[in-house]
Structure 1
Amino acid sequence: MTDQRFTELLAKQLAGDISADESIELKSLLENNSASNREYQLLQNYLQSETEDEENIDLVFERIKTRIQPPARTPLKVVKRKNFLWLKVAALVAILVGAVLLYNREVLFFSNSGHLVLVKVQTKAADTRTVTLGDGSVVKINSSSRFRYPKKFSGDNRNVYLSGEAFFDVKKDPQHPFIVHTEKMDVQVLGTAFNVKIYPNDDFAETTLIRGKVVVTLKDDKKAQFTLQPNDKFTLAEGKGQVNQTESGGVEETAWTSDELVFKNKNFDQVSRLFERHYDVKIFFKDPDLKKVEFTAHFTKENISEALDVLKFIENFNYSIKGKNVYIFR
């Protein structure tokens, strides 16, 4: 099934239809499967070169066709034309995307045993979801996030994929480490509770440990590993990682799981992104200097107007709301 998933993701990449989550997943598959990585490199070299290693590339084509060819069908024939890059791309996309369509039910949704391969959960702004994984682990997914997980874990590791924010309560299983794959870092645990935050529009990523023990590994530097103890928070910003004790014991970082907002000494620009996800609005600053103003607050049931009114007591500013757009000005 890993080979079939690799074929599907490769097809999407060649067709230019691969999502950020799927790019992370493809990168992880390449890092953990030397055979797929060799095939990927050969295909890349084939597409980019004017002359090809015919013998090696033919073997790659045959392996791919073997994986995607349904039983009792006439084998697909690949026609290669030298010096025409677009024909190479067209041939590969036709074969691989065709394979995705042929295996639409089996590969995209079901394995041969009838189990779902990957389930995708995507939350909108002002929305959270809670899912229970096949091993009994519970994951609460924050707003504006994407989370992928297998219906049934198999292999040595329990691999899941996140873009956004989620709180994990992982069942302990020393024989099968639980790994959260993100664009910039991987978080590996055996059994623990922790929060991971890595939104695409934030200039930082962080992991906060509530209990247990986790190891954070950077994507760009596998040797850079950070071990967290309870109440430690790992922060990655500008390519540099550091571990510090949380000032609130994790309350600030996990308040969202109780539908609350807690922040301390956050500038208005950072607070605005919290508000956008929590209240499903878009905030615009007419005065850029206001972005630098820092706030400390704790909101429970307040709506967007009530929250902004509280902040107005701290700093002199005005706001207007038109539909889902909020404008901040002096």
Structure 2
Amino acid sequence: MTESRIYYLLSRYADKEIGKEELLELKELVNSSDNSLLGGMFEHLWCNFDYKDGEADKKELDKIYSGIQKKLKRKRVNMFLYRTLRYAAIILIPLLFTLSLYFYQDREKMYQLGQKEITIDVAKGQKAGITLPDGSRVYLNSESSLRYQQSFDYKDRKVDLTGEAFFEVKRDTTKPFIVYTKHLNIEVLGTTFNLYAYEQENTIEMALVSGYVKIETHTVPSEVMYVKSKEKILFDKISGKLHLEKTNTLFETAWMRNELVFRSEQIESVLTKVERKYGVKIHVDGKWIENDRFTGYFYSDHVGDVMEILRMHYKFEYRMKNDEIWIITTTN
């Protein structure tokens, strides 16, 4: 019924016989009707139209036809875009989600990788030298451990040390090099220094060969001290105090030259360092002079040579088997 009514009104409009009320009705029907239906109807009307008034009528109908064609064209374009975007959304949304998830996971992996800790452990009787990502060199003494994150030198330069190490720090004014120990931190820009920080020792020592160093304790309140070359800092773990003194650094770096140097050290400390250097375990059988202190210098690749010098000094007997040494003290 609606289709035939529209066709009728269009025919009257083309013949210029349509009234005012019919024209309003046609307008409402056209606005509420499907464009493809109007297009087919208008095309049929166009093919069967008899131009009574010549070219003027043709131009008027051309105008109507052109308007409907433009509307249909917009409709087709809109439908094409709608369908294209809908299909694109069906494809792209999962793809974008997958890519977003991939990049998120990739960032997570990179972050986790950067947070991964690298640890260099040196066994008793051994030494090791490593080059850090920034080009700094670290030489580790026996029974020492150095830890740093894989992201080292990306945003900062931080390492943790337990034991003894000699540092040759590459200068970088934008990223201070910080060495963390259990009791204090050492912050430098570019310098060389030796740090002695074994857990079982009551004292931490830092001897500066060259450069400039800032020391900060973990105590509350913290203590800060600045150290220049040829100076040595000592931290007493029991009192929590720092002490500064002069040094030529030969004593502190003796281990790098494969030397053992003792200056008025308790015999227990001497034996601990002998164990550490040569990778042995020393047992003491009998009474020992607890407060006795030893001053001496050893340069040998064989622990037997060191034990002979100590035997002559302290008048004890000893026996060795594999990596173990038993000291038998004599009594007067």
TM bracket, shorter-chain basis: 0.5 to 0.7
Q: Which amino acid aligns with 1:265?
A: S
Matched, 1:283 2:316: no
Q: 1:242 to 1:220 in 2, by over 3 A?
A: closer
For residue 318 of structure 1, report the CA deviation from its aligned partner: 2.2
Q: SS in structure 1 opposite 2:134?
A: coil
Matched, 1:161 2:160: yes
Q: 1:317 to 1:246 in 2, by over 3 A?
A: farther
Q: Which amino acid aligns with 2:181?
A: T
Matched, 1:119 2:121: no
Q: In the alignment, what sits opposite 1:181?
A: 180
Q: In the alignment, what sits opposite 1:207?
A: 206
Q: In the alignment, what sits opposite 1:242?
A: 242
For residue 313 of structure 1, report the CA deviation from its aligned partner: 3.0
Q: In the alignment, what sits opposite 2:270?
A: 271
Q: In the alignment, what sits opposite 2:193?
A: 194
- Quick check: which has more Rg, 1 or 2? 2
Q: 1:288 to 1:204 in 2, by over 3 A?
A: farther
Determine if contact 2:235/2:243 at 8 Å carries over to the other structure: no
Q: Which amino acid aligns with 2:146?
A: F
Q: 1:132 to 1:321 in 2, by over 3 A?
A: same
Q: In the alignment, what sits opposite 1:53?
A: none
Q: 1:302 to 1:154 in 2, by over 3 A?
A: closer
For residue 112 of structure 1, report the CA deviation from its aligned partner: 5.4
Q: 1:271 to 1:183 in 2, by over 3 A?
A: same
Q: In the alignment, what sits opposite 1:297?
A: 296
Q: 1:135 to 1:120 in 2, by over 3 A?
A: same
TM-score, normalised with respect to structure 2:
0.62
CA distance in structure 1 between the aligned counterparts of 2:145 and 2:162, rounded to whole angstroms:
5
Percent identity, aligned pairs only, is 28
Matched, 1:172 2:171: yes
TM-score, normalised with respect to structure 1:
0.62
CA distance in structure 1 between the aligned counterparts of 2:125 and 2:252, rounded to whole angstroms:
17
For residue 114 of structure 1, report the CA deviation from its aligned partner: 7.0
For residue 117 of structure 1, report the CA deviation from its aligned partner: 4.1
Deviations 1:89-130 (A, max 9, x none): xxxxxxxxxxxxxx9x998xx735976843210010011111
- Structure 1 segment 139-158 matched on structure 2, within 5 A: 139-154=138-153, 157-158=156-157
**More displaced stretch, 235-244 vs 124-133:** 235-244
CA distance in structure 2 between the aligned counterparts of 1:196 and 1:288, rounded to whole angstroms:
33
**More displaced stretch, 226-235 vs 163-172:** 226-235
Gaps of 5+ in 2: 1-99
Q: Which amino acid aligns with 1:194?
A: F
Gaps of 5+ in 1: 1-69, 73-102
Q: In the alignment, what sits opposite 2:306?
A: 307
CA distance in structure 1 between the aligned counterparts of 2:128 and 2:270, rounded to whole angstroms:
22
Root-mean-square deviation (CA), in Å? 2.7
Determine if contact 2:258/2:299 at 8 Å carries over to the other structure: yes
**Higher relative CO (CA 8 A, sep ≥ 6), structure 1 or 2?**
1
Q: 1:157 to 1:243 in 2, by over 3 A?
A: farther
CA distance in structure 1 between the aligned counterparts of 2:239 and 2:188, rounded to whole angstroms:
22
Q: In the alignment, what sits opposite 1:64?
A: none
